Structure 1
Amino acid sequence: MQQDRNGLPPAEWCATPNAMRLNRLMRMARRDALMGGLGLSVAGLFSSAQAQTAQTAAQSGEVGRFMAVSERLTDRTTLDSRIGTALYVGIVHANPDRQAKIQALATLLENSKPTSAAEFARAAEHEDPSLKEVIHDILAGWYRGVADGKVVVYRSALMFDITKDAVYPKTYATGGPFYWVSKPPEVARPTGKPALTPSPFVIEPT
């Protein structure tokens, strides 16, 4: 194909500016569609085993127990079961022993019927100190949206829900021009005490 004007084909550099922009957008759209399809195909190949695990867990009631534990630990009455299923599969895939520990938490929840997350967490650590680690995994999953070292959910992670009146998720600015110069709303200083004993501070790689 004959080219000129910085390597562009004549049909493009001879066109009007609007037509040139439209041509570029069309090429980008086709490229994105092809790359998106390829990404979905690869994801399908690598997630089939986990999809089977999720289906089995849902049928056996494991996800339901995980959701009940999660709602108590986050002090929420409802959580998204789709996110919960993905978090459960990721947590168990990363540490298979977590399955039994989540079951232990569900049993403790049913028997003790705690009225708050702090009460439940203290009772769990008193029952079995090793349950503290799976509590960390569950809370990190819901608040950070990460399980098994992978991002399960971003914008719907609970850490953004807590601060949604003042801080937006780091994707794009949804406020007006210079919204960041306004003084954020006052937030009351926390007065509660940690429910769990201190854990080692781990600096994650970035």
Structure 2
Amino acid sequence: MKKDNHLLPNDLTQTGVSRRRFFGQSGSVVATFALGSLNTTTAVAAQPAPTDATTLNQFLKLSRFLTGHQNLDTTLGERLWTAFTQQSAGFSSQMDVLQNLIGQHKLPDVEALDTLIKGQPLHDVMMAVIRGWYLGVTDDSHHARVYAYQNALMYQVPRDGMVIPTYAHNGPDYWTSEPPPVDRLLTF
């Protein structure tokens, strides 16, 4: 029996098999080179260094003063601190200057600090920290990274009377809670 030269849907020619084998092997070689060329020191250096407890406590203390809220989420604070220090190398020193101004002038609240530094570059730093806690983002760009949504301070004040806006009908993270029990089965 003579075999046709054209391919049937379930039939492979020897050329087709070798071509597939070639592409499969070349794909493996490319993946090996791509993974092997990654420099592990670069990958480690790209990750932010962990924040020490003293620095984080200073940032949280300043944040409590600036926001007027005493119960701030420590994990969110660490994320915001990391984001601010990645965006600006001088953020740590600017935070220290703000804390020194508060201490030197014995300022009672953020409004007094606002009056003192209005029109200065430190005012922008102060507003960035407040914005970070209230909005959950650290910049105003179109591709801003969100660090807090459900725990953003803008939703904490009216939480007893306002539902956090979401497309998830049962609220953010609704899938983590147990579903309501089935009282009765649906009838069709």
Please indicate the TM-score interval, normalised by the length of the shorter structure: 0.5 to 0.7
Aligned to 1:140: 131
Work out the CA distance in 2 between the residues paired with 1:46 and 1:79.
29
Work out the CA distance in 1 between the residues paired with 2:161 and 2:169.
12
Structure 1: where are the runs of 5+ without partners?
1-44, 176-206
Which residue identity does 1:130 align to in structure 2? Answer: P
The yes-or-no answer on 1:110 pairing with 2:103 is yes
Work out the CA distance in 2 between the residues paired with 1:77 and 1:165.
18
Scaled by the length of structure 2, the TM-score of the pair is 0.58
CA contact (8 A) 1:70 1:138 kept: yes
Aligned to 2:159: 164
State the secondary structure of the residue aligned to 1:77: coil
Aligned to 2:92: 99
Work out the CA distance in 2 between the residues paired with 1:144 and 1:69.
17
Q: Alpha-carbon deviations, 1:132-181, whole Å to 9, x = none?
A: 11112101110011125311111000011122133222233459xxxxxx
CA contact (8 A) 1:145 1:153 kept: yes
The yes-or-no answer on 1:58 pairing with 2:56 is no
Quote the offset at 1:49 in angstroms.
1.4
CA contact (8 A) 1:73 1:121 kept: no
The yes-or-no answer on 1:122 pairing with 2:115 is yes
Aligned to 2:61: 68
Which residue identity does 2:157 align to in structure 1? Answer: I
Which residue identity does 1:88 align to in structure 2? Answer: W
Alignment of 1:1-206 (within 5 A): 49-50=47-48, 52=49, 55=50, 57-59=51-53, 61-123=54-116, 125=117, 129-147=120-138, 149-171=144-166, 172-174=168-170
CA contact (8 A) 1:73 1:116 kept: yes
Work out the CA distance in 2 between the residues paired with 1:138 and 1:70.
7
Which entry has the higher C-alpha Rg, 1 or 2?
A: 2
Structure 2: where are the runs of 5+ without partners?
1-42, 172-188
Scaled by the length of structure 1, the TM-score of the pair is 0.53
State the secondary structure of the residue aligned to 2:70: coil
Work out the CA distance in 2 between the residues paired with 1:110 and 1:81.
23
For this pair of structures, how many residues does the alignment match?
124
State the secondary structure of the residue aligned to 1:162: coil
Q: Alpha-carbon deviations, 1:19-46, whole Å to 9, x = none?
A: xxxxxxxxxxxxxxxxxxxxxxxxxx68
Give the structure with the larger helix fraction: 1
Work out the CA distance in 1 between the residues paired with 2:161 and 2:59.
30
